[in-house]
Amino acid sequence: MTTITNSKEEIPIVKEQDVVPLRNRVKEYGVKIGMSILNQTKLITATSELVRNLLKYGGGGKVIIESVSNGRDNGVRVTFIDNGPGIANVELAMKDGYSTGKSLGLGLPGTKRLVNEFDIKTELGNGTTVTITKWKNG
């Protein structure tokens, strides 16, 4: 089934102070479609992790928030786009415990577990795009 975008906005992310307003906008999208508090929390947690990666590893970029529908399902899709160095080994980056920073290495795999759909595209030297979707009832 085709996913239809109902509303969409693009937000530049260039500094740490951009994180909280982004989280608030993502929450507003979830509230608008009637997403449960639990699913809003999962979506906001995933958003926080990915936007921090965008700043830390990608040097900033932009985030696109969309309200989407697929048949009777409504959801929120968030796309994180940076022009950073890219991820050398996506398979390794998606393993629990792997980190190029000083973290627990739960970021990408943990984020994937919080959402219904997770897609990552990266090219060395040309940045990374991560798209997540959380369905209202998912």
Task: Tell me the average pLDDT of the chain.
Answer: 90
Flag whether the pTM goes above 0.75.
Answer: yes
Starting from the edge strand earliest in sequence, which strands make up the sheet with 127-135, in order?
4-13, 61-70, 73-82, 127-135, 117-123
pLDDT at 105: 42
Altogether, the residues listed in the chain come to a count of: 138
Main-chain dihedrals φ then ψ at residue 20, nearest 5 degrees: -65, -45
pLDDT in tens, 17-62: 999 999 999 999 999 999 999 999 999 999 999 999 999 999 999 9
